[in-house]
Every structure is written in structure tokens, then in C-alpha cells.
Amino acid sequence: CRISLSACPGRPPTLHILPCSDYVCCHISMAVRLIPAIPLGDALYLTALPPEGPQAPLAPEALWGLNASRQEQRLLSWLKEQAPASSCHLKCLQILKGLRDLRGQGLEEPFCSQWGRVLSSYVLKTALFSLLLQGPLEAWDERFLVERLEDLVLYLRNCLRKQVLMHFFLGNTSLPEAVALPRFLKEAAPVNLLAAFDGPTLDLAAFQLINTWIQAPHIIRMYSSPRYLRPALTP
């Protein structure tokens, strides 16, 4: 294999692995982001935050974030058991991410970068988890996809207006029993994921979110066109 390392300001260094074999099946290249992590036990990690990453630090001095991927998988497994077999909650998350990315194509800097950070994938996922636990899970049957997607948009809009969206695991005492958490996470101080952003930015994000939902068909038609897609950055 040929191995190279690339680094861009504000992004984790990336290890590029390109096989040199003549076999067709071995021509698949791989890019691995290198993110320092500190294990805390029970598959929990502290991971280094990029200076300008999608998950903006909660305070200027914050250098590490909590990675609870295993706990998220436990929650998703529990939801799969409790929700209808045709539940649309994951589809709602995918569609909202897609709308966020398409809307970002038409925004100008500096708000374009703020848009992606305010509505990071982690924020969208946290909003979905919080809304799901409000129940009932039967309402997430796939035939209600549009209604549930609108509920998710409105819930997130209200969080942006109130400037509050609490971390789903830190200090959350309302988690299902199936999602086992270490004691130090249950007793941790609650953390507001939107605390790093000022009021005008969150208000503008709330306005653009509702505008995106109202104009979703138009945005999908317009910004899915190849001429609007931004070229990928050269490694």
C-alpha cells in the first residue's frame, strides 16, 4: 500500500491508504481520520475537538468532547424493540440532514459555516432522541413520516429560539433502564449544546430552518442540481 498523511487547519489529520495490488477488489482506497481519544471505561471516550469542527466547543477552553457511541447504539436497539417495525425515526434524521446540507448550498459566509455548526449532526441526533422519548413511539410509524418530520423541525426550532438543547447523556435522569450509563455520567452537570452560540445566530438559524422546511420541495429541486454542488476540497 501507499500511505500518506494530509492535514488541513481545523480538521483532524487523515491517513490515506491506497493498495498497490493488481487485483480489482484491492483497488479500494481508504481514508482514516486520526482523532486522539482517552478511554473512560464502558466504551466511553474523551475525543479531541477540532478548533472549528461541526461540534463547536461549549466554552473557549474546551478541548475534549464525550464520545458515547456505544450508549447511542444501546438506545437505538431499545428503540427498535419498542417502536413499530416500520418506524420512520431514522428516515426523519436522514431527511433533515439532507435538507440541512442542501440549504447550506445557498447560504453565504459567515453564516454558512455557523449553520453547519449550529445544526451539526450531533445536534440533530440529540433533538431526535429527546423527541422520541416524549412518546408515544407508535406515532412514529412510517405512514406518519411527514408529520413526525415536521414535529422534529418544530421541536428543533423551539430549542433554537430558547437557546437550549441539553446533552442527551450528561446529567440526563430520564433515560430508559436499557441504556446503562456509568454513575459519573448520570450525576454529571447537564450541558447545553447551544451555549457556545449567541442569540442572533440561533434566531437566524431558527428562521432558516423553518424557511427550509416550508420551501423543502423547491430547495431539493434547486440545490440538488449539479451546477449548485460545491466541488470537494483537494486533500
Tell me how far apart the alpha carbons of residues 235 and 225 are, in angstroms, rounded to a whole number.
24
3-state secondary structure of 88: coil
For domain 68-224, which architecture applies? Orthogonal Bundle (1.10)
Grid coordinates belonging to 223 = 440545490
Angle, CA of 82, 167 and 98, to the nearest 5°: 70
- 51-85 pLDDT, tens digit per residue, is 554 444 455 567 888 888 889 999 999 999 999 99
Average pLDDT, integer, range 129-154: 94
How far, in Å, CA of 210 to CA of 173, rounded? 30
Give 161-198 pLDDT, tens digit per residue: 999 999 999 888 888 888 888 888 888 888 899 998 99
Rg of the chain, C-alpha, whole Å: 20
- What is the chain's mean pLDDT, rounded? 85
Residue 164: the pLDDT is 96
